[in-house]
Chain A
């Protein structure tokens, strides 16, 4: 089975590109931040520098690990689902479920390993740049040299491989079992995330305005709320669709497609909601915090500076990473619809109508994702602003939110439409022929 796995990768490298990209980016992020542990662990590094480095590594490293798990899992799930027919064929040819599992997991691990190894070079450069950033802001002594050692290397490769193997195992199990269940575990997880998130957000009020940890409960609360909302998103999507008064053939088709594929779109909605919530919440809270510090006339402490750099770095990474994942999974999901588009065209849809359908679907998805992401972000921003300042809403205006929204909308609609346009180049008759 392992040989078959290797052969299937060699024959169709394109199919594994999405997984490779997720593994590569994920490993690069983990290694970049974990190389800060290696740097801090060198002899002759002063304690302030070491603390800055390890704090950053632990905070962002934790985020990064979660993100990598999520990203690799969602691309692998899409990948395995698209190969359901091929796996079914293998099962009919006498492969046992265990053999199929071994093949899919083997492929995933091999691709993840390639991604992680490719990530070593960029991660070294990234770690170097990150250290330079801390040195420029005076948080780390100039004398500290960057080091890329065993912690970075081992954690990067281990986490990526583990994420790939685990995600592939779960995805293939779902496919080979063959039934569609609305997981109860998912619902329980969603409500648990919502509950803990709400508690986190509310606990903000227990802090005083000048507490250093004030930002943590609302920020983490908002992220948990967004995770909870993201898990419930497919169900809410169906609820919203029933109330959409869309006319025209494209809108009609879009609503029906989305309703049928609600479960498949969970990954894309999750990326959108997380992206909006994390970016909006963190950026607004940081802006409120900076203004409050400035207003009080105090100079920033090293800790405050650390926090700002960290916050902005985290947002930067999440923005780039989630955006790439969004583009990645949307691309994979859209290019997979070649046959469906062909069938629409043969039923009398012009290419413009197909693009109109894809556009309408993208708009509905974006609106829902942005709405729930914004709700989660507000749930964190409002308590923070109330405690930190005297107003309820930040006085930064809508600028940041609009920027976040336009990036999300551009990524979702742009990817969907550009991919669909490319897919439409295949003549309809060829597109509907079953892939051999």
Chain B
């Protein structure tokens, strides 16, 4: 039942806009100690784009990602993923919303130690009750360079290899949007480059939409465009970013912040 349901939704074809946020606000805490993490953020990301979100610590990057990815509900505003509005409150409802729409790549990989590489990769499919295609799984894992590691456990892999498993996991479920939270934060430069190239391929070859939160200007330069965030608000956008330009802009964001306070 569920499988046909999710299939038919996919068959309507992807919406031209992968992600849209309208006046999204989120406040943590209450009264005196309240912190406004997101302050009326409005943005739209087209299908097949690679966007980096940058900003100083506490600028609301993580909150933005969590609200946009259906991990958390905003206090006010509208979140649309692949043309469907995020509604509903319970965790089970949010989980069902994310299935088939959203994939994740985290700094800490979040692979299950009890499962092999292949089993970790197909876990989202199994949980969603979708068919597991072994050949396709092998293809995707081979594409990320792990075709000979299907039976390994995460603790037998290097950090870079684990992150590539996480990317394969996000690709196999064919989500509309892949959210990456500091995906290279725990990696050496070489592994980081491999991971960023794979994310680029996900966009260019597979037509996915990738949103990546990072504090590293080099990582951000792999994206098509960079969104800057400060004090919970959008503070600019840069297309065709280079590491130097991003670093420069980021430094000034910091200046504005301290000057503003």
| A352 adjacent to B127 (CB under 8 Å) | no
Q: Per-residue CB proximity of B103-135 to A under 8 Å, as 1/0?
A: 010101011111100010001101111000000
Q: Report A-chain residues with C-beta under 8 Å of the C-beta of B96.
A: 350
| B115 adjacent to A348 (CB under 8 Å) | no
Kindly state whether residue B72 has any CB partner on chain A within 8 Å: yes
- Selecting from A37-45, A269-277, A337-345, the interface stretch reads A337-345
| A347 adjacent to B91 (CB under 8 Å) | no
Kindly state whether residue A353 has any CB partner on chain B within 8 Å: yes
| B66 adjacent to A350 (CB under 8 Å) | no
Contact pick for B127, options A259, A349, A424, CB 8 Å:
A349
Q: Report A-chain residues with C-beta under 8 Å of the C-beta of B149.
A: none
In the complex, which residues 230-270 of chain A have their Cβ closer than 8 Å to any Cβ of chain B? 249, 252-253, 256-257, 259-261
| A249 adjacent to B112 (CB under 8 Å) | no
| A252 adjacent to B126 (CB under 8 Å) | yes
| B66 adjacent to A349 (CB under 8 Å) | no
In the complex, which residues 298-348 of chain A have their Cβ closer than 8 Å to any Cβ of chain B? 340, 342-348
Kindly state whether residue B245 has any CB partner on chain A within 8 Å: no
Q: Which of the four size classes fits the interface of chain A?
A: 20 to 34
| B113 adjacent to A260 (CB under 8 Å) | yes
* With contact pairs A256-B114, A343-B110 given, residues A348 and B72 touching in the complex (Cβ less than 8 Å): no
Contact pick for B124, options A252, A340, A347, CB 8 Å:
A347
* With contact pairs A257-B114, A429-B71 given, residues A347 and B108 touching in the complex (Cβ less than 8 Å): no
CB-CB nearest in chain A for B181? A429
CB-CB nearest in chain B for A258? B114
| B129 adjacent to A340 (CB under 8 Å) | no
Contact pick for A261, options B91, B95, B99, B114, CB 8 Å:
B114
| A249 adjacent to B126 (CB under 8 Å) | yes
Q: Which of the four size classes fits the interface of chain B?
A: 20 to 34
Kindly state whether residue A118 has any CB partner on chain B within 8 Å: no
Kindly state whether residue A166 has any CB partner on chain B within 8 Å: no
Please, how many angstroms separate the alpha-carbon atoms of A351 and B111 in the complex?
18
Please, how many angstroms separate the alpha-carbon atoms of A366 and B119 in the complex?
26
| A345 adjacent to B99 (CB under 8 Å) | no
Kindly state whether residue B259 has any CB partner on chain A within 8 Å: no
| A429 adjacent to B72 (CB under 8 Å) | yes
Q: Report A-chain residues with C-beta under 8 Å of the C-beta of B95.
A: 345, 348-351
The minimal Cβ–Cβ distance linking B242 to chain A, given in whole angstroms, is 32
The minimal Cβ–Cβ distance linking A85 to chain B, given in whole angstroms, is 13
* With contact pairs A249-B127, A256-B115 given, residues A350 and B110 touching in the complex (Cβ less than 8 Å): no
CB-CB nearest in chain B for A339? B110
Please, how many angstroms separate the alpha-carbon atoms of A424 and B115 in the complex?
21
Taking A344-B123, A345-B91 as known contacts, 20 extra A-B pairs with beta carbons closer than 8 A to each other, sorted by chain A number, are A256-B114, A256-B119, A259-B114, A340-B114, A343-B110, A343-B111, A344-B112, A344-B127, A345-B95, A346-B71, A347-B127, A348-B95, A348-B98, A348-B124, A348-B127, A349-B95, A353-B127, A429-B66, A432-B106, A434-B108
Query: A residues engaging B (CB < 8 A)?
Result: 249, 252-253, 256-257, 259-261, 340, 342-353, 424, 427-429, 432-434
A-B residue pairs in contact (CB < 8 Å), sample of 13: A253-B126, A343-B111, A345-B95, A346-B104, A346-B110, A348-B124, A349-B95, A350-B91, A350-B96, A351-B91, A351-B92, A353-B127, A424-B91
